[in-house]
Amino acid sequence: MNTGRQAGGDEGAVPQALSPRRYMIGIFDDSGAAEAATGEIAASGVSQPEILLCIAPEAIDAHGQLHGPFAALKKRVQALVADDDHLLERYEEAARTGACVIGVLAPEPASRDGIRQILQRHGGHTINFFGDWVIETLDADPGRS
């Protein structure tokens, strides 16, 4: 499974930033459950490189600040078309506090419901799909009312 870190990078290196577009992302409080979910997703036909397991908080980089001025500018432009900052901040905070954040590339609408069901069956929550122009909430954040 890909961990969201740059291939061959040092442990201390800042990983490549995750662009959430076309990804379904969810939080797992238990790493064993996260691994079970990613295994089932892979068994369902999603290829290993399309599954990001336990994304490092630095890879989420909700504001584009860790990856230079171009990344920060890109985040500001993205904020004009989609309000994903608060969600990315939630995922970043979850990763920082020890939760497992999983991302699954899901560009095809037909595969999304099955992926969502697998994530939920294994305890995933705060599940959202980040489309090109819209964010779909598939499982609400239990910490929000």
Residue 135 backbone phi and psi in degrees, to 5: -110, 125
β-strand pairing of 135-139 with 125-130: antiparallel
User: For residue 100, what are the β-bridge partners?
Assistant: 28
Digit-by-digit pLDDT tens for the chain (145 residues) are: 444 432 233 333 334 455 678 899 999 999 999 999 999 999 999 998 899 887 767 666 665 555 455 444 445 445 544 556 678 888 888 988 989 999 999 999 989 999 999 999 999 999 999 887 788 888 876 664 4
pTM of this prediction? 0.73
Helix or strand (DSSP H, E) at 128: strand 125-130
Q: What's the one-letter identity of residue 45? A: G
